Amino acid sequence: MSVPLTLLGLLEREPSHGYDLKRDYDAYFGRGKPLPFGQVYATLSRLARDGKVVISEVGPGAGPDRKRYIITDLGATEVDQWLTQPVEPEPHLHTVLFAKVVLSLMLDRPAGEYLDTQRRAHLQRMRELTEIKRAGSLVDALLADHGLYHLEADLRWIEMTAARLDALKKAVRP
């Protein structure tokens, strides 16, 4: 997730204070990983330095002064370019899951046990995402679906790999 570009996109929607940006980021994009206030303000500072946002007004707040940020034409152009570029398709051919299986076999460790442990972890996460999907909003459901589909693909790979461990062991061990 690109925090600077996401914050720029939120600012293109409407000028906002840092607190409002954090709230909206957390509500729509920060599921389970809220954005720290320090990161919001550090990012806004860099965006201002780079000419992508400007401060439109400064008003008193309960603590420090409240700054209202507005996106510049440069920032809007960057958001437009980002939104129109496709995301690099996943999965990449280098994954931690694959590396652990191959290294387990190379080191004569129980790769099958690792796959069983990983399968249980995936199934647990799938139960959690299914509950989020069941109890949450449409945004929650769509995010949960995205995660569930990736986990389902991983589980298919785990099953196929478990069935081929002996052959894989011969391929990776001299």
Global pTM value? 0.73
As given in the structure block, the two tokens for residue 133 are 């999907």
Look at residue 168 in the predicted model and tell me its pLDDT. Answer: 94
Look at residue 94 in the predicted model and tell me its pLDDT. Answer: 64
Contacts 24+ apart (CB under 8 A), 43-48: 43/3, 43/4, 43/7, 44/7, 44/18, 44/69, 46/4, 47/4, 47/7, 47/8, 47/75
Look at residue 60 in the predicted model and tell me its pLDDT. Answer: 66
- For residue range 3-61, list pLDDT tens digits in order: 999 999 999 999 999 999 999 999 888 877 899 999 999 999 999 999 999 998 776 66
Q: How far apart are CA 3 and CA 30, in angstroms?
A: 10
DSSP characters over the chain: --HHHHHHHHHHHS-EEHHHHHHHHHHHT-TTSPPPHHHHHHHHHHHHHTTSEEEEEEE--SSSPEEEEEE-HHHHHHHHHHHHSPPPPSPPS--HHHHHHHHHHHTT--HHHHHHHHHHHHHHHHHHHHHHHHHS-HHHHHHHHHHHHHHHHHHHHHHHHHHTHHHHHHHH--
Look at residue 75 in the predicted model and tell me its pLDDT. Answer: 96
Amino acid at 169: K
Look at residue 135 in the predicted model and tell me its pLDDT. Answer: 94
pLDDT class of 1 with cuts at 50, 70, 90:
low
Q: Is 70 helix (H, G, I), strand (E, B) or coil?
A: strand
Look at residue 152 in the predicted model and tell me its pLDDT. Answer: 96
- For residue range 91-150, list pLDDT tens digits in order: 666 688 888 999 999 999 999 999 999 999 999 999 999 999 999 899 999 999 999 999
Look at residue 93 in the predicted model and tell me its pLDDT. Answer: 66
